Amino acid sequence: MKPVTIHSLHDKLVKGEISAVELTEKFIARKDRLEPTVKAFLSDNRGFALEAAALTDKKIAAGEAIADFAGIPGAIKDNICVKGQQVTCASKMLASYRSPYDATVIEKLNALDYVSLGKTNMDEFAMGSSTENSAFQVTTNPWNAKYVPGGSSGGSAAAVAAGEVVWSLGSDTGGSVRQPAAYCGVVGLKPTYGLVSRYGLIAFASSLDQIGCFTNDVEDCAVMLNAIAGYDKKDSTSVPQGAKDYKKALVNDVKGMKIGIPEEFFGEGLDTECRKILDDAIETYKKLGAQIITVKMPNMKYGLAAYYIIAPAEASSNLGRYDGVGFGMRVPGKDIVDMYCKTRSEGFGPEVKRRILLGTYVLSAGYYDAYYLR
């Protein structure tokens, strides 16, 4: 199936070349055919999808203007809250949990008549880079089922790459949108921190988490960013700013544009084939008139080490709420401490446990100053 775009399908809907219900039914049929192999989805939401599509058709028939992606099937990563729907974070801990509220990004999409076919698979609590750490299933790469789709937003990336949906939402803490987008050959965007509200995104590492999107081209990413970006008083890290049209940033002419190439990104460990592709891209930009400037980012060498202190520390704190008391899974014990221990032992998978332990260690007395504070 040739990749399709939000903007091309929007034109067809407006011109009456296809109805939103017909479009949704086609993608449902494709999803049903491919899911046994791809395994991108953790839930099916076709009832809601068809109702939303019918609403879009009704607006078109009445001559009303519709949003850029109204009636066009998409998917939502299963750590983003949708009222009345499961939000498991691909963890046994939240296997039976349904959200009582909508995330801010879902409120925004609701206002624009979005269509979602379901929630997508991920590494448990967004901790991983392959979507093999899900408690429920392993998602495969649509291009080759023997390969992983990347992670943690692997389900969202695979769903778009397989043509099961046209767009999807994911989250990115340390590459969880960008890396699976690269693995699956689609466009992935991690917005600048604070641009998109995190309210309703179940936390991994709060100072790094950000909701992003997957599409088949850059214009569609601009469409999605227009839909989900904006200040939200419910998120204390949201940046106050006026509305922008990110489609206006799309230009074909890069003449005079300055592109910085960090020296540190071209050192030891860079795959030879990847290096050639990057060099070819740089040469293409030079021919188009862009200025290529070599820059130094000397602190980049500390990036991975800093991530593996900050992210696990914040994960340790954020995941402390899953104790079998307030919500989520509970395993009975002989007393409350035993119940805590059994619930967390059985509810969390190995990768989540590793990160909680590491985070608890760097936050502990005697090590806080030496690691986290630095």
Q: Tokens 């969202």 map to which residue?
A: 156
DSSP class of 206: T
Q: Cα–Cα distances in Å, from 69 out to 8, 101, 198, 263?
A: 10, 23, 21, 39
Backbone angles phi, psi at 309, to 5 degrees: -105, -50
Q: Residue 223's closest CA among 246, 242, 201? A: 246
C-alpha span between 190 and 92 (Å, rounded) = 27
Is residue 152 annotated as part of the catalytic site, yes or no?
yes
CB-based contacts of 51, cutoff 8 Å, min separation 6: none
130 tagged catalytic: no
Q: Of 77, 108, 119, 190, which is the active-site residue?
A: 77
> Token pair of 311, please?
């992210």
In the chain, the N- to C-terminal Cα span, in Å, equals 50
3-state secondary structure of 44: coil
DSSP designation for 10: H
From the list 116, 168, 171, 176, the catalytic residue is: 176
Burial class from Cβ neighbours inside 10 Å (0-12, 13-18, 19+) for residue 162 reads: buried
Q: Which long-range contacts (CB under 8 A, 24 or more apart) does 229-237 make?
A: 229/191, 229/195, 229/196, 230/108, 230/196, 230/197, 231/197, 232/104, 232/197, 232/199, 234/104, 234/197, 234/199, 235/104, 235/197, 235/198, 235/199, 237/193, 237/194, 237/198, 237/206, 237/207
Return the structure tokens found at 18: 């296809």
Query: Tokens 């509810």, residue?
Result: 347
From the candidates 152, 153, 171, 197, which is the catalytic residue? Answer: 152
Helix locations, the chain, DSSP H: 6-15, 20-38, 46-61, 104-111, 154-161, 178-184, 218-228, 272-287, 303-318, 336-347, 350-363
Residue numbers annotated as active site? 77, 152, 176
